[in-house]
Structure 1
Amino acid sequence: MIIIYNFFLTIILFFLFPFVTKRKLEKVNKSYKIWVHCASLGEVKIALRLIREITKVYNLCPSEILLTTTTLTAKNFAKKIHEDTCLFPIDYFFIMRRFIKKVLPKVLIILETELWPNYLYFVKKFGGKIFLLNGRISKKSFVFLKTFKWLFLKFINNIDLFLVREQIDFLRFKNLGISHEKIIITGNMKYDDIDENINFNVTK
């Protein structure tokens, strides 16, 4: 499935090449215990709060946690607060493999809906645990993933635990083929405190 996904992605990137080349691939020069990924500015605020909690609970230094964002605005905002922040690489096989071989996270924490196949594949391949926090799945995304379930389900199933916002998110992930035992409804973390009982199994 990873070959099929990257075949179609290669075709798409060919047509988007002028835009893709404008996105600078940032270098990472060390490994991290935890990798937190989010998309936009709204999610970054949750991510920064999460990083503060993790450093306290697991007695980690902030420099042991990498934060990536999809948008440049979110990255620039986050980097003022958390130095180890960079843009999320393009989810292409060779680019993502090189990035993750360098980062080698023990844990990947994804916020909301960033379900890119190559990083789900490689984090798991290199032995990392994957958690989805504040998970949600819109009706449009559900229809898309349901249509291409044969392609995406294997990668999404690499996620070890789904912590989702609402009952509808629980049902949609379950209907995609995710075991109900891996899905927990935790509420919206934009408004609620982060559950201190979540165990990310990170050791010093």
Structure 2
Amino acid sequence: MSAGWLAYRGLTACAGLIEPLAGLALTGVERAHWPERRGRSAAPAPIDAWVHAASMGESLAAAALIEGLSREAPRASIAVTTTTVSARARLRSRGLEARLAPLDTPNATRRSFETMRPRRLFVIETELWFRWLERARLLGVPVAFVSARLSERSLVRYRWLGSEAARLVHDTSWVLAQTREDAERWRVLGADPERIAVIGNLKNDGLPRPAADREAARRALGLQADRPVLVLGSVRPGEAGLLAQAWRKLATERTREWQVVAVPRHPNAEAGLRTEAGLEGLDPAAWRWDARLGVLSQYYAVADVAFVGGSLVPFGGHNPLEAAAAGAAVVFGPHHETQLEAVSALRAGEALAEVSDVDSIVATIGRLLADPEWRQALALRASSVAAAERGAVSRALLNLARWKLWPV
């Protein structure tokens, strides 16, 4: 037995010992939902499919997959879990009874499996929790990693756990990978080559669509129906100041007619982002801030122009296809390490306005505000690119049927 595997089992066992008291150190929403993390608030048994999505991005994919699963088996019972409170809120805003996932500890895992008694587990992308896999193997529950990713760095880390982890992956798992490169890494990790297929990115099937009645949708959000909208989405620390500088440099007559909505990536960052923008001299009334969980897609659906955050500073970028699919002209910064495929697709379709600093933001957003023909053409091309990226759900369902994992 490898040292890495022994360490993993020891650490998760120790975490299980402090699990009952750990919730006392939490506050607010996290503390309120701690029983879910302990496996004490799982969906009632038996469950035909347990779908797990880690965070906000994966929640889009989970919603799309669940819609497809339900279409194939309308009477099937499906439970969904997430790792983050924000993803839980987003899924609940879509009408799904999402819960927080159990910790990867012996007791929390056992409670969840005993309560839900899932017949199969579908994990979105790459959340490899080996206590879950051990319990799944013990109970004969098949596990499919859907829209699975695996970076070289993660592969090295997982292989440090030794042959025990590789055997668990081989014995329990089917893999529906995003790319051929991901599929090969899963094979190296231990997955059975006969249980691997490539389907693309499931998130793209869960992308939002433009509002059917944009004016009504704007009014529902408290916006003026007849004024254009600029959305600053998933804003991260360090970006609010740059955007505020740029906005102040734009001509007043050009910006006066526009409504600006700033949505932080994380709700608890709002105060700091407001301060950051204020230090650059931005009038507090110039932008509307909305830090509520799950609202960004609603704003994208009514936006004429959308800046997608995490891209002006080195956070790797957030998904520009979300704004593109909703019908907005998309502005994106130079940092896109986690969004390479999406950025490449939009570039190929000449559907992305790229910026790198305050001056380029001023020039690009200034032109988008002033030139409706260019703005609308960019938005149309972006929407077409997003539409072409869909289809992973259908490919996933075909392979699940081939492997007799779905329908029930």
Same fold (TM over 0.5): yes
- Are residues 1:44 and 2:87 paired? no
- The structural deviation recorded for 1:157 is 2.1
Q: 1:201 aligns to what?
A: 406
Residues 33 and 152 of structure 1: is their aligned pair in 2 closer, same or farther, counting only changes over 3 Å? same
Q: AA paired with 1:28?
A: A
Q: 2:13 aligns to what?
A: 10
Distance (Å, rounded) in 2 between the aligned partners of 1:103 and 1:174: 30
Residues 138 and 122 of structure 1: is their aligned pair in 2 closer, same or farther, counting only changes over 3 Å? same
Q: How does 1:1-204 map to 2 (within 5 A)?
A: 4=6, 5-11=8-14, 21=24, 22=26, 24-26=34-36, 27-28=41-42, 30-31=44-45, 32-60=47-75, 64-191=77-204, 192-193=390-391, 194=393, 195=395, 196-198=397-399, 199=401, 200-203=405-408
Is residue 104–residue 123 contact of structure 1 (8 Å, CA) maintained in 2? no
Q: AA paired with 1:6?
A: R
TM-score by length of 1: 0.86
Higher relative contact order (CA 8 A, sep 6+): 1
Residues 56 and 170 of structure 1: is their aligned pair in 2 closer, same or farther, counting only changes over 3 Å? same
Q: AA paired with 2:145?
A: L
Is residue 125–residue 148 contact of structure 2 (8 Å, CA) maintained in 1? yes
Deviation digits for residues 151-189 of structure 1 (CA, Å, limit 9, x no counterpart): 421222243310101121122112223221111111222
Is residue 113–residue 135 contact of structure 1 (8 Å, CA) maintained in 2? yes
Deviation digits for residues 10-57 of structure 1 (CA, Å, limit 9, x no counterpart): 346679997655350221251111100010111101111111111111
**More displaced, 3-12 or 29-38?**
3-12
**More displaced, 174-183 or 90-99?**
174-183
Residues 140 and 102 of structure 1: is their aligned pair in 2 closer, same or farther, counting only changes over 3 Å? same
- The structural deviation recorded for 1:129 is 1.7
Superposition RMSD in Å = 2.4
Q: AA paired with 1:8?
A: L
Structure 2 unaligned blocks of 5 or more:
205-389
| 3-state SS, counterpart of residue 190 of structure 1 | helix
Q: AA paired with 1:36?
A: V
Distance (Å, rounded) in 1 between the aligned partners of 2:108 and 2:15: 15
**Residues paired across the two proteins, number:** 200
Deviation digits for residues 89-124 of structure 1 (CA, Å, limit 9, x no counterpart): 111011110111111111110011111011112123
Residues 10 and 125 of structure 1: is their aligned pair in 2 closer, same or farther, counting only changes over 3 Å? closer
Larger radius of gyration between Structure 1 and Structure 2:
2
Distance (Å, rounded) in 2 between the aligned partners of 1:169 and 1:77: 27
Distance (Å, rounded) in 2 between the aligned partners of 1:15 and 1:50: 35
Residues 30 and 16 of structure 1: is their aligned pair in 2 closer, same or farther, counting only changes over 3 Å? closer
Q: AA paired with 1:25?
A: P
TM-score by length of 2: 0.45
| 3-state SS, counterpart of residue 62 of structure 2 | helix
